[in-house]
Amino acid sequence: MRKTEDILTDISDRKPSSPVYLVIFAISLGHFLNDIMQSLVAAIYPLLRDEFALSFWQIGLLTFSFQVTASLLQPLVGSYTDKHPLPQSLSFGMLATLCGLVLLAFAPGYPVLVAGAMLIGIGSAVFHPEASRVARLASGGRYGTAQSIFQVGGNAGSSVGPLLAAFIVVPLGRGSIGWFSLAALLGMIVLWQVGAWYGRFRKAMAGRAAPSRVLPLPRRRVVTALLVLALLVFTKNIYTASITSYYTFFLIERFELTTQQSQIYLFGFLLASAVGVVLGGPIGDRYGALTVIWISILGVLPFTLLMPYVDLFWTVVLSLLIGAIFASAFPAILVFAQELVPGRLGMINGVFFGFAFGMGGIAAAALGVLADLRGIVFVYQVCAFLPLLGLLTILLPRRRDMMGWL
């Protein structure tokens, strides 16, 4: 049986017009493992609240610490690796996540919990820009599909995290989080192999012309389009932060569920998000990223408006629809942004992944304060109107406009 390294060596010599699915799935597996560990942070919030007597604003600060650390570093990492590629940085990012897990498992107090969350944020900052770059390089031109496969690993990992918390961490205690360091170790091994392929790919492409950096539209219009895309990510991630950080508390307070029951429903939302990511990329490749963006942002508005007022059954159904439709947007938004600013993959990946994390973190902290002041149900009543910002999609250029300018 051939070794994985030998297979990766062979496929590094293929023409870029042929998708290298083994590499794409390997990077997706790394994303899966990375995001399992990230999702544990939010999934164990009820446990941490009881053990450390935390308020909602302290819970929001944990999310803020993790996500803002990632958001500040990701654009810097992406810009640096555009000029100085670091193929093995993926493994070192996973090492930071491993260290963060250990701190979460054995933290004696709240400050150490914050430090553990920040280390996991650093791991994300190193992982996402380069991993997304590898997915695009291995895509063979099917950029949306490759981004979907890459991102669905993260969504699947995020959805599994609450289940693992419900059936492992809650019964066995916070110290059991340390066992997930084995998953981080596996991730380091997989990503080391991906980094080796990436290094060989760079050598194989060394004699070819550098990617064009000519903008497809006038600079002012490119900047406007990027700002619109950023606002759409802002919309998506504020609402997603309200679910990932506080949905369990919403279900517990409104429907008197147990912690385990609420985490199972959170798993359902995150799994639906993974399905949405799977569909978003291929649909974007076929019908255009702009079509997916229109449907995914505005399409959830009726469901977000209804969710705070219905019974448990319809709350769950609506949350599943919201998760699937909203999540389909991000692969399309990322591919659209990459085409607006060609030749700067690391910077664009870092900015948009970082912006996603940052907005989620700031939103989690702000929504925690709002929940303390007005109650958790009020949070969802306010967030329900966020998808109206999807109307800004009308300001985005069409593909024929971009091709016509060139």
What is the per-residue pLDDT for 316? 93
What is the CB-side half-sphere exposure of residue 50 using CA atoms within 13 A?
A: 8
Q: Strand, helix or coil at 18? A: coil
pLDDT averages per 10-residue partition of the chain, 406 residues: 46 52 88 83 79 83 79 77 78 88 88 90 84 82 79 78 78 82 88 87 69 72 87 84 85 87 85 82 77 85 93 94 88 82 74 67 78 89 90 81 52
Helix (H, G, I), strand (E, B) or coil at 92: helix
pTM check: above 0.85:
no
* Nearest one of 209, 208, 228 to 217, comparing CA atoms: 228
Cβ partners under 8 Å of residue 192, min gap 6 = 88, 90, 91
Let me know: does 290 contact 399? Beta carbons within 8 Å: yes
Domains of the chain: 19-405 (1.20.1250.20)
Tell me, what amino acid is at 304?
T
